[in-house]
Structure 1
Amino acid sequence: MSLLRMDNVGVVVEDLEAAVAFFLELGMELEGKGQVEGRWVDSVIGLDDVRVDVAMVRTPDGHNKLELSRFRNPSAISTGPSGPANALGVRRLMFAVDDIEDTLARLRTHGAELIGELTRLDGWLMCYLRGPEGIIVALTEQTS
């Protein structure tokens, strides 16, 4: 047995439209939207009477996807405010971009906030920012 691929990363959000707009502004492409409900999803995720709005976005090369989900039932629960970079669990999503400063400017119009500084190291520019729902996004740009 061997791993074939990673299909997507799931992110639960409260404001699905804002999250989709943020990732589209980043440069991802909308693959589709829909609603998920029924006994089959209840049995897969271990909750009862599930109703979820879902949007799938993908990178332009088609290799990586995010499944953005808004739970209508049961309601999403908060595990507290977004923690620092050393908190346990999934901490960030990283994307390579061709113009990091332009990308930052565009994402700021969607509420993104720089966490630290835009930093240069060995031919790379890199930064962390907090996007919708506290999602931490890392951006990199190769400069040499």
Structure 2
Amino acid sequence: MTTRIENVGIVVQDLELVRDFFVALGLEVKGVAQVHGPWVDLTLGLEDVESRICVLGSDDSDAQIELQQYVTPTPLPAARAGIPNVIGLHRVSLQVTDLEGHVGRLAQEGYGLRGEVARYADECHLCYVVGPEDLLVMLFEPISPA
């Protein structure tokens, strides 16, 4: 028996806004769909489900992010999003090049840091960005050996 990570699903209110945020970070749209019908209702244990989906990924990884916007039923708000110590989905982590460039560009688009850019030992620089809908995204850039 084998197991591999296929994707992480994130329910969002504004699919295009969150999609564009991840595309700006370098991910690519790998697929889009609108799903509904008995199989969806049965799988989710909900009734009359209709949702829009956007799958994002990169060419150098099989793991993907699946954004899902419910048309019906009405999505429920998270208890407290954007805070690292809330139980539930904590964050999405992306390895990037030019961390400072990403942080600067995201700041121009209105997305700030949760804390500050920090150095972890001799391994990487990292930070938490608060994205659309208070989604936490950890960006990290490995430190190149000298």
Normalised TM-score (structure 2): 0.91
Matched, 1:95 2:97: no
Q: Distance in 1 between matches of 2:128 and 2:11?
A: 20
Q: Distance in 1 between matches of 2:34 and 2:127?
A: 34
Task: Give 1:83 deviation, angstroms.
Answer: 5.1
In structure 2, the partner of 1:125 is 125
Task: Give 1:29 deviation, angstroms.
Answer: 0.5
Matched, 1:85 2:98: no
In structure 2, the partner of 1:51 is 50
Instruction: Give % identity.
Output: 37
SS at match of 1:113: coil
> Conserved in 1, the CA contact under 8 Å of 2:126 and 2:139?
yes
Gaps of 5+ in 2: none
SS at match of 1:115: coil
Query: Partner amino acid for 1:33?
Result: V
CA RMSD of aligned residues (A): 1.4
Q: Distance in 2 between matches of 1:46 and 1:109?
A: 41
In structure 2, the partner of 1:31 is 30
Gaps of 5+ in 1: none
Normalised TM-score (structure 1): 0.92
Q: Distance in 2 between matches of 1:67 and 1:17?
A: 13
Aligned length: 143
Q: Distance in 1 between matches of 2:107 and 2:60?
A: 24
